[in-house]
Amino acid sequence: MTDPDLLRRLDECEHAMRALEPDAAQRVALREPVLEATENFLEALPTHPAFVDLQTCPVLDPAIPENGAPIKDVVAEFQRAVALPGSHPASGHHMGYVPGGGVYLAALGDYLAAVTNKHPGVFYSGPGAVRMEHALVRWMAGLVGYPDGALGNLASGGSVATLAAVATARDAHQLKGADFARTVVYLTSQLHHCLEKALRLAGLGECVVRRIPMDADWRMLLPALEEQIAADRAAGLRPWLLVGSAGTTDTGAVDPLERLAEVAQRENLWFHVDAAYGGFFLLTGHGRAALRGIERSDSVVLDPHKGLFLPFGMGVVLVRHGEAMRSTHRYFGNYLSEAARSEEVSPADVSPELSRHFRAVRLWLALKVAGVGAFRAALEEKLLLARYAHGRLAELGFEVGREPQLSIVTYRWVPSAGLPDEPDARLAAMNACNERLVEAVRKDGRIFLSSTKLDGLVTLRLAILNFRTHRRMVDLALEVLAAKVERAGEL
């Protein structure tokens, strides 16, 4: 005989959790404030500041309540305390760092994925979901030029994708702990830091890292690489990994990938390419030519949350010999007995993750509905805008870097008078002037840009990658910069 108290308590619990399962009418009422907030956000975006000082915004209430509040209030707080402060990667006025995106179709894809909550990690459980991921991976592998047999994975971002590539490269070359201290990695100082972070996380923090000198365009110098490899072999070290950039973060520089591939092949190195920023320019003619040789790499990382304008949360790793990736990541548990019978490769077999966000839908929906042509046009526009900005900055009297290889333009302001003659003091004064220029632009808020240091010189960057950045946004950036340097005395 079941205890009546237990039955009563079951009814009480079911009643008390009703907020977790709104009915159809309640769902409409719940979505309305969310849709209204996103509509307001998108309508305001073109005229909204690209950077908002945190101090001017309300602080997020960190309290987690026992009893819920009206969704209108919770969404309103999100708008004021979360959506508002800081930079706005969704804005076409954001030209700092490497810009993000936020195509609307991807948001709808996330909504579909979250409501249906298919498990995309294991074929047995989410066969359609896994096939969708495979289709996207195959499309990207085709873009890179990898043969059949390549595998890949949709990770959360470029850094995590890089970790999967490094772990695969480690195992493919059968490196063991005892080898690590004499194992050598070749890269340039312009390579993104996520590679060295991945080395450390993969247990390879002890390995020898050689920073190969670069030419005037920030591209790895081949003779220097070859000499270093020869010297390392002579010293009894074990050359292992060569990393090229298909677009560096600072300047958008592309290493001579074709020639790096030749060296890697001859020297039996694993050749990895960081294409997190630049990879999707492969959709354009200019990009295909600039990235020639990428198809000969062993692994590559691309970031759809940069180059395909998705909201943050997707980086992709591709490995030419898929089996290497699989043998590094594959595991089995008794609780997965049914799943193990499937013939298909499951994302969990090629990823550190098992259960995870069904992130494929955001990309799939965007590509299927908008078509690849729309992305191709947007990427070509970014390349052209960078050339346009480069020319215009020079006209405005800025000292510009070389013609942009992709969509990042570097420049700095050199005051015509008032600089000291002594070289160190002159450099310090010029750097201080450019730092004040960035700060003045940030305070202005209409556009967002960032700076870096190249050879000790503070250098400003226009990184043009947001799909919402068009010529009028670049013109506004130029107008703001020109106005600030006109009053250079105040900088």
Ligand X SMILES: *Cc1c(COP(=O)(O)O)cnc(C)c1O
Q: Which is nearer to ligand X, 275 or 385 (CB)?
A: 275
Q: Which residues make Cβ contacts (< 8 Å) with residue 317, sequence separation at least 6?
A: 152, 153, 155, 161, 162, 164, 165, 299, 300, 301, 325
Residue from 90, 95, 98, 243 in contact with ligand X (CB under 6 A): 98
Q: Which is nearer to ligand X, 253 or 481 (CB)?
A: 253
Least Å from the CB of residue 149 to ligand X? 26
Least Å from the CB of residue 84 to ligand X? 23
Rg of the chain in Å (alpha carbons): 25
Angle (CA) 225-231-236 rounded to 5° is 125
Residue from 88, 119, 192, 296 in contact with ligand X (CB under 6 A): 192
Least Å from the CB of residue 315 to ligand X? 5
Q: Which is nearer to ligand X, 126 or 293 (CB)?
A: 293
Q: Which is nearer to ligand X, 257 or 480 (CB)?
A: 257
Total residue length of the chain: 491
Least Å from the CB of residue 276 to ligand X? 4
Q: Which is nearer to ligand X, 50 or 187 (CB)?
A: 187
Residue from 295, 303, 349, 381 in contact with ligand X (CB under 6 A): 303
Query: Total residues at the site for ligand X (CB under 6 A)?
Result: 13
Closest residue by Cα to residue 163 from 397, 325, 380, 312? 325
Backbone angle region of 72, left / alpha / beta, with phi > 0 → left and psi within -120 to 50 → alpha? alpha
Q: Which is nearer to ligand X, 252 or 322 (CB)?
A: 252
Q: Which is nearer to ligand X, 198 or 361 (CB)?
A: 198
Closest residue by Cα to residue 125 from 352, 337, 350? 337
Which long-range CB contacts under 8 A does 377-383 form with residues at least 24 apart? 378/309, 378/467, 379/280, 379/281, 379/283, 379/284, 379/287, 379/307, 380/284, 380/286, 381/470, 382/407, 382/464, 382/465, 382/469, 383/281, 383/284, 383/286, 383/287, 383/407
Return the residue nearest ligand X (CB atom).
158
Contact characters 330-359, ligand X, x per CB under 6 A: ------------------------------
- Please, what's the b/e burial string for 224-263 (b: 16 or more CB within 10 A of its CB; e: otherwise)? bbeebbeebeeeebbbbbbbbbbbbbbbbbbbbbebbbeb
Residue from 100, 121, 157, 304 in contact with ligand X (CB under 6 A): 157
Residue from 249, 251, 299, 407 in contact with ligand X (CB under 6 A): 249
> Per rule CB under 6 A, is residue 315 in the interface with ligand X?
yes
> Per rule CB under 6 A, is residue 159 in the interface with ligand X?
yes
Q: Which is nearer to ligand X, 272 or 392 (CB)?
A: 272
Euclidean distance between CA atoms 163 and 316, whole angstroms:
11
> Per rule CB under 6 A, is residue 297 in the interface with ligand X?
no
Q: Which is nearer to ligand X, 95 or 437 (CB)?
A: 95
Residue 275 dihedral angles phi and psi, to the nearest 5°: -115, 30
Contact 183, 144 (CB under 8 A): no
Residue from 143, 164, 167, 194 in contact with ligand X (CB under 6 A): 194
* CA quadruple 120, 126, 129, 134: dihedral sign: positive
> Per rule CB under 6 A, is residue 277 in the interface with ligand X?
yes
Residue from 143, 169, 204, 276 in contact with ligand X (CB under 6 A): 276
Least Å from the CB of residue 94 to ligand X? 14
Residue from 274, 295, 349, 381 in contact with ligand X (CB under 6 A): 274
List contacts with ligand X (CB under 6 A): 98, 157-159, 192, 194, 248-249, 274, 276-277, 303, 315
